[in-house]
Structure 1
């Protein structure tokens, strides 16, 4: 029997990417609304309550309203917005950190943010292993393709006047919406200092956490950090840890167009300075790929079905 699925916000970038990954898959019976009905709350409510699983690709307030429309108490939800990422009763949808069983059994799953995915994948296992102290004062530098900004930023960068800039830093108020989940899901006592940027590339992402050895637990080396990450993600079909990397550069396009995530540990010979780096696609493991992975788990299907690996 197929799973009845409704994507609320299917016309947006994330929704379209999810639909592409589900194309031709007979496990799902997709509930679809025409353009007029997509803006009709009664039609949306009917679709939400008819679904076995609903994926919300909406702004935060609209996502909260959609959850409130679910009256029958049975529809399961994957929310791709920020609205529920630190909310009680919601499972954080990074199965490799939160646990596959937790996602599989959850009624409410909050899809992680793209930057957050890279940061948490690097930091959470190392905090849990006691290699990075929970009270460490961490910073995170990251760069993303412009598609992460949705339709308005895509139009901005693909307009007739060309890309507005080669490098745009933002969140200078130090209040980026991903920071609470980055802190909470990593088990950190303090907010990381987050410095995101956008570059004139459609998709792709690099997330970096620089470390001084003095910040770490005694005798922690780059090799020990790398091995701890490799042990944590051993057997994962989606997240891998590079044991070596040729060259002194890493391109933001490294995993663009895929749903994979690759982690790196770079250091000087004494491991006195260390750079933890995650490469992913902001639309893949950072958004739509992650939603499909969570959907597969919740539906009792192979975790990687439909993913671009």
Structure 2
């Protein structure tokens, strides 16, 4: 009998890929969405849709009813204050856990930043969301913590690629910090593997096949190569990055949504976003995208979608 998986956040950057992968793996997929979604990635998938959001207890109950596994991938990455993050990433997660009490296995898509909850409102809310769900579900909860996710449709790293495509000199935030990365399709596949496996109640970090991560110089050079460019590099002093973040905090108060806030600056300047040995899970197949192939595919998508110039 085909197993049923319920998914929140299905229309998000990772969730869209996750629904496609789950369908390819033979799952019957049910998703929570504010309206009936139409997505080109789902050409071969026909997910059942429960209309609602994380504030709707009835919709969450309907979503979880009869599900063998529930994957909670919904969340917010931007917000004006801690309360805004907590409404979705903590309170929403708690409501999902209450609805999923009858499911044998629930998977929470958290973030590697939850490892450092004092860095930002976002990282604190992701850690608190893990704890809120663990309180309800106990060992029936698996947590995946993706590192920095990139790929087609990603708006967060788009400015990095735009800069790599246009600037003769690119900034390097640190010469020693390490940042683990993963392409969105590989993150979806690895999340699906965790969902299909027996629940072990553990926390697993998701990265590509270089869990030790990349230096900022390697990342910027790879972005430039994907754009067909060979710029020079200059070290960007941390004080300047933090100052820009603080300045952007004031623009956020006026309704803007800047990428680089003071909280994001603290996350970017953190020296260790590598994945430690104890955070890794054995049994994953090799990723389909190493950094070079992933960045090249991402830039090609940006150009086709007219997000970047040809």
TM over 0.5: no
State the TM-score bracket (shorter-chain normalisation). 0.3 to 0.5
TM superposition score normalised by structure 1: 0.38
Pick 1 or 2: higher relative contact order, CA cutoff 8 A, min separation 6: 1
TM superposition score normalised by structure 2: 0.37
Structure with the larger strand share: 1
Structure with the larger helix share: 2
